[in-house]
């Protein structure tokens, strides 16, 4: 019996120009990345961005796969923040987060509002803050709300942190590498 020949289907016509097909994402919804053994309450070291080297407390993984993290704000100035788990070093230090309520916070909390987008689209040279009075008022209340959420989430955390000696100072300090540190030999 003759072996089945493998044939390649050629279309009815060839395209005249070399069309460049842009990268089409096959998967529309974001898939939450698998957490590599990071537990709520664990202290993480941020590796990139404005808060490089800061030690923060991990709260939960959001639906988008990003990690929700907080300084706490009073201790090291890091607010409630989303962080990519690839840019994070998990340490073995854990804080007790049983009293912390972060269930209200999800990806929508971090969505940019109309007013913010308007501010941004003015461009670098334009006068910032060109918002109507009404927008300014809503912005004010929005920021107030954010401050309150930050406070309420951090309150329970800070009381838990204060129980361990030097933990507060630890979270307030940045992680640095000196001349003699060998990162590949460090145990986190």
Partner 1 sequence: MVLTKFVEVGRVVKINYGPQEGRLATIVEILNDKRVLIDGPTTGVQRQVIPIRRLTLTKFNLKGATRGARTGVITKAIKKSDPFAQYAQTLAAKKVAKKALRAKLNDFDRFRVMILRKRRSALLSTQLKTLKKSTGGKAQTQAKGGNKKK
Q: Which of 33, 64, 84, 91 binds partner 1 (CB under 8 A)?
A: 91
Quick note: the x/- pattern for partner 1 over 32-51, rule CB under 8 A, is: -----------x-x------
Q: Which stretch binds partner 1 (CB under 8 A): 90-98, 104-112, 116-124, 147-155?
A: 90-98
DSSP collapsed to 3 states, the chain:
CCCCCCCCCCCCCCCCCCCCCCCCCCCCCCCCCCCCCCCCCEEEEECCCCCCCEEEEEEEECCCCCEEEECCHHHHCCCCEEECHHHEEEEEEECCCCCCCCCCCCHHHHCCCHHHHHHHHCCCCCCCCCCCHHHHHHHHHHHHHHHHHHHHHHHHHHHHHHCCCCHHHHHHCECCCCCCCCHHHCCC
Q: How far is the CB of 152 from partner 1 (least distance, A)?
A: 26
Binders of partner 1 in range 3-32 (CB under 8 A): none
Q: Which of 87, 109, 110, 175 binds partner 1 (CB under 8 A)?
A: 175
Nearer residue to partner 1 within complex by CB, 29 or 187: 187
Q: How far is the CB of 175 from partner 1 (least distance, A)?
A: 7
């Amino acid at each position: 019996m003759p072996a089945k020949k493998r044939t390649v289907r050629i279309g009815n016509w060839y395209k005249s120009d070399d069309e460049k097909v842009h990268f089409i994402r096959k998967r529309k919804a974001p898939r939450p990345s698998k957490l590599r053994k990071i537990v709520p309450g664990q202290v993480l070291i941020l590796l990139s961005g404005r808060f490089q080297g800061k030690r923060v407390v991990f709260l939960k993984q959001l639906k988008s796969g990003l990690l929700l993290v907080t300084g706490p704000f009073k201790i090291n100035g890091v607010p409630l923040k989303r962080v990519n788990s690839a840019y994070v070093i998990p340490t073995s230090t854990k804080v007790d987060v049983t009293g912390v309520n972060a269930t209200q916070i999800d990806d929508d909390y971090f969505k940019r509002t109309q007013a913010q987008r308007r501010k941004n689209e003015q461009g670098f040279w334009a006068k910032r803050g060109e918002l109507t009075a009404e927008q300014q008022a809503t912005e004010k209340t929005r920021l107030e709300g954010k401050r309150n959420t930050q406070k309420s989430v951090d309150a329970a955390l800070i009381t838990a942190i204060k129980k361990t000696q030097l933990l507060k100072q630890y979270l307030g300090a940045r992680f640095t590498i000196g001349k003699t540190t060998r990162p590949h030999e460090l145990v986190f």
